[in-house]
Structure 1
Amino acid sequence: MTQGSTRRTVLATGAAALVAGCSGTDTDGGSSTATSSAPAAADRQAAPAGEELGRTADIPVGGGKVFTAQKVVVTQPKAGEFKAFSAVCTHQGCTVNRVADGAIECPCHGSAFRAEDGTVSRGPAQQPLETKRITVSGGTVHLI
């Protein structure tokens, strides 16, 4: 036998033993009952994917909110339309600090980015902010 087949044999044997151990039948011929504390599938609701950032109500229309810990800025250019971008300025890596009058602003050197698409509206930055993926569900914004 080669080293590879020995390893496969051991893994296959171990998997078979694991399955047998979970079959619900014990070694003396009796049966055992497994219980689960997990709720039935019908009782569970799927949680939105990703990390919760905040409430949609906290993100003003025409403005936005910077989530410093996650280095993300979420904007709401139009009512009900949410966008997300990296909060790291593409000029020299400072964190943007506010969204006002449709612009995401960097305090370090004055760069500004459009809240609707993250493109540069005022330099010295020359590259847009990186787009981030979010979902909006039940009045909350989640970073994917």
Structure 2
Amino acid sequence: MDSSLKPQENHFVALGQLLTGAGVPADRTEQLVTGMLAQSARETRLAVSRDICALVDGYIQGLDERYATRLDDAQKLMTKLTVELEVSRRRMRDERFSRSRTVIALILLQLLASAVMLVSLNFNGRATAVDVGSAADVALGPGFEVLER
């Protein structure tokens, strides 16, 4: 007899021998033992499946706990980066508008200075330092001074 089929180690073999000893026909004994083996295999498969699911769930829960803070940190970082990006966009837009205003102001000052020169050339053909200084005062507006050399 195979060592794996010893009656004291395998209860299915012992059951088969018990049924044969009780006078149950061999075909019926084989059918009963085969049915019990199939049922035992289904139960074992189900138990192993449940154990594997429990292990996987535990592993996933451990990963969730371990990486939950990292995910929160990543989301906080993304929020900070989004805010910084929006702030830098606004600064760039404001700087562009500020540069545009400065360029427009310089062009207007040049236009005004050209107009003052044309007017002074029409009167007597010469411009005096007083005329240019007063024209600069008018162009700059109140509160600004032209530095003298």
Category of TM-score, reference length = shorter chain: under 0.3
Q: TM-score with structure 2 length normalisation?
A: 0.20
Q: Normalising by structure 1, what TM-score?
A: 0.21
Q: Which has the higher contact order (CA 8 A, sep 6+)?
A: 1
More helix by share: 2
Q: Which protein is bigger by CA-based radius of gyration?
A: 2
